[in-house]
Structure formats: structure tokens, C-alpha cells
Amino acid sequence: MVTSQKMKDRLVFVAGLSAGLMGTLVVAGIASYKVVKFEEQRLQHGWRLVPVVVAPRALAAGTRMTFAEMAQRPMPEQLVTSSVVKPDSATYVVDQVLTVPLSDGDRLHWTFFSRTRNGLMRGPEPSSPRDPDLWEACDAALAASSTTARRERTPADIRARLVSEVRP
């Protein structure tokens, strides 16, 4: 026959075991939640959505861009390179001429716009009158500058070329 003291001891043991088991389950649940959240963040890294500028409808080559020809859409950051036009830079594209046709939703790239001889995109014409002599002088200087690659092999060759260009 089991005495009341032994019954009490068993009851205390079972209660302690139950409390320990419940505590262990709570700690295991919290730990597994943290592991799942960490893995979720690790898998989502690079897939955060960032806004980019896209064509809201099909645009033909030769279209002069306005804000009406631009829309903003979210895109995973892994697919957004430095060549993609971002919304904070959209003003630089206004009044630029599109060189390629675009479909609805195509991202705008900097390479899709016409460029001038010096490689810079030509912005809108200034509202103030231009000095034609200054522009002709600048165009002549640009045309006169050599764009061919120089192939000096040593610093002495570079120095000799620079000295010969400075002295008449």
C-alpha cells in the first residue's frame, strides 16, 4: 500500500516533471521561431523590392521622354543594376530621345537614350540665348582633341609626349 507521503512525493515529482517539460517546450518553440525567422531573412536577402522607372505603355524609338512616358514599379533589388534608371534620377531622362522601342513595363536603362559626341546625354536646351562663338569654339576644341588610345610603354614615353604637347 502506498503511503500518503509517497503519493505526495510522486505528485510533486510529476508536477515538477510537467513544469520542466512545459518550460522546455516554450524554450524550444522560441528557439525554432528564431531559426525560422533567421532563415526567412537569409532567403529574402536581395529580394527586397526597390522602385525603378518603367515604360507605362509601349514606346517607339525616337520618343522624347516626359513624365507621362514614365511609371514607377517595384522590382527585386537583385535585378536592379546601376544601368537602371531609379525614380530619384528620372528628371535626367526628361526630354531625352529614346533610341530603342520599349514594351509595357520595360525598365528604363541609361543606355536607351541618345548621347552627344562627348558621351554625355544632352539635356534640355537652356532657356537663355547661347553665344554661338563660344559653342563653335567648344565644338572645335572637342573635334580637335584626340580620342585615339595612346600606347606608351613606360613613364618616360608618357612624360616625353606630355612635354611635346605643351611646347610648340
Pairing of strands 49-54, 71-76: antiparallel
Cα separation of 45 and 52, whole Å? 18
pLDDT for res 101: 93
Q: Is the pTM of this model over 0.85?
A: no
Take residue 8 and report the three cell numbers written for it: 505526495
Q: Flag whether pLDDT at 49 surpasses 80.
A: yes
The ranges assigned to domains in the chain are: 1-42, 52-112
pLDDT for res 18: 92
Cα separation of 127 and 130, whole Å? 9
Q: Which fold has domain 52-112?
A: Type Iii Antifreeze Protein Isoform Hplc 12 (3.90.1210)
Burial track 16-38 (b if 16+ CB lie within 10 A, e otherwise): eeeeeeeeeeeeeeeeeeeeeee
The residues near 69 (Cβ < 8 Å, ≥ 6 apart) are 55, 56, 57, 59, 63
Q: E strands within 38-136?
A: 49-54, 71-76
> Side chain identity at 80, as an amino acid letter?
V
What backbone torsions phi and psi does residue 19 show, to the nearest 5 degrees? -65, -40
Mean pLDDT for 28-40 is: 94
Q: What is the pLDDT of residues 126-148, one digit of tens each?
A: 444 556 666 677 667 666 665 55
What backbone torsions phi and psi does residue 47 show, to the nearest 5 degrees? -110, 15
Mean pLDDT for 21-49 is: 91
Cα separation of 14 and 11, whole Å? 5
pLDDT for res 123: 44
pLDDT for res 39: 92
Q: E strands within 26-96?
A: 49-54, 71-76
Q: What is the pLDDT of residues 63-120, one digit of tens each?
A: 999 999 999 999 998 889 989 999 999 998 998 999 899 999 999 999 998 765 444 4
pLDDT for res 119: 47
Residue with more model confidence, 33 or 141: 33
Cα separation of 121 and 110, whole Å? 9
Q: What is the pLDDT of residues 51-69, one digit of tens each?
A: 999 999 999 998 999 999 9
pLDDT for res 125: 46
